Amino acid sequence: MTTLLPALAAGAGLSLLVVGFLIKFRERDEELMRILDLPSGEHDVPPEVIAEGNSALLESGVQLVQGALERMKMQSRLAEELERSRVPLRPGEFVIVAAVSGILGWAVALLLTGRPVIAVVALFAMPFLAWRVILHKVAKRRTAFERQLPEALSLIAGSLEAGHTFLKAIEMMVEESEAPMSEEFERVLSETRLGDPLMDALDRMSIRLGIPDLAWVIQALRIQQSVGGRLAELLTTLAEFMRQREEIRREVKVLTAEGRLSGNILGALPLFFMLIMQLMNPDWMKPMFRGWGPAVLGAAGLSVAIGVGIIRKMARVDV
């Protein structure tokens, strides 16, 4: 116990130090952005603000991690997912935070259970959970965008019917919409103000979000530009089609809810009972941590993961 407490304290202190540095640098970047948005001469910029740099140790660590990610061809994928989730971290910063969380999870698990095997599992589980959080935020934003897209197309179509230009219609839609729809289209408008063609900015948004419905809308816009026709009527038709697909998706989700819930419960039960037995009767679990016990536990965990994956795949229906 005396050796575990320093490990726990070191892990907690390291995690707090890294998070504190990242928050400090993020606040500094936001302050510089706010200053740059002000009219010229309205806010004096102290020289130390411009000259201030990131901590040499932390920055060198971030650059080292990003170099490793680049060599493993993982940096672009991680950067894309962080951008889609709107998490204000660079890939190297995220990897460092995930690694620190793994060390902290290892220390906590070792302190609570005293089992090195469980501590090693926690060491790898925490970074995995951090990555799953990023993917969950991406999926949540994508789902919200898909839900808002039909209404946004209807607003744009209504503005076009009123005689506004397509760009002005998008601006009015952004004013009426909520995030993430307003955030993504506001970025499109910002790119057009910097001189990019509107369709190119929309293409980049489609690639960034990876939503099939949005890709269809942009493809329809390109075809309409080539062959002509009433754009408002086209957007209204697309919006109605997407609403009908969304109704079908909801019905399928309701019908497959039992299968998805069964998979989640079956996957969580072994871990739940293992934790309960470890807390209630630690001696009962001791044979599973000696000899072939860890290999048996690993094989059992792998079989459970495969079974849960098969159940979730059977319950997934693409519409």
Report pLDDT digits (tens) over 100-115: 888 888 888 888 777 7
Give pLDDT, residue 53.
47
| pLDDT of 259 strictly over 60 | yes
12 shares its domain with 134: yes
127 shares its domain with 18: yes
**Position 194 in a domain:** yes
**Position 226 in a domain:** yes
Average pLDDT over residues 86-98: 82
User: Which of 86, 108, 141 marks a domain boundary?
Assistant: 141
Domain residues for 292? 256-315
**Position 160 in a domain:** yes
> 191 near 204, Cβ under 8 Å?
yes
8 shares its domain with 136: yes
User: Which of 121, 141, 161 marks a domain boundary?
Assistant: 141
239 shares its domain with 287: no
Give pLDDT, residue 6.
47
The better pLDDT of the pair 293, 150 is held by: 150
**Position 250 in a domain:** no
Report pLDDT digits (tens) over 1-24: 444 444 445 455 555 555 555 555
Q: How confident is the model at residue 314 (pLDDT cuts 50, 70, 90)?
A: confident
136 shares its domain with 181: no
127 shares its domain with 153: no
**Position 162 in a domain:** yes
Give pLDDT, residue 28.
54
23 shares its domain with 114: yes
Helix 75-85 × helix 91-113 angle, to 10°: 90
Report pLDDT digits (tens) over 177-232: 888 888 889 988 998 988 888 888 889 888 888 888 888 888 888 888 888 778 88
Give pLDDT, residue 108.
83
216 shares its domain with 146: yes
**Position 251 in a domain:** no
The better pLDDT of the pair 318, 123 is held by: 123
106 shares its domain with 89: yes
| pLDDT of 288 strictly over 80 | no
Alpha helices, DSSP H only, in the chain?
4-37, 47-51, 56-71, 75-85, 91-113, 116-161, 166-176, 181-193, 198-209, 212-227, 231-255, 257-280, 282-285, 293-315
Check whether the bond before 91 is cis (ω within 30° of 0).
no
* Dist. CA 3–CA 82, nearest whole Å: 37
Instruction: Name the phi and psi angles at 291, rounded to 5.
Output: 60, -125
**Position 25 in a domain:** yes
The CATH number of whichever domain residue 215 belongs to comes to 1.20.81.30
Report pLDDT digits (tens) over 129-186: 888 888 899 889 888 998 899 999 999 999 888 888 888 898 899 888 888 888 889 9
122 shares its domain with 216: no
186 shares its domain with 154: yes
User: Which of 197, 222, 245 marks a domain boundary?
Assistant: 245
133 shares its domain with 167: no
Indicate the number of domains in the chain. Answer: 3
Q: What rounded mean pLDDT belongs to the chain? A: 78
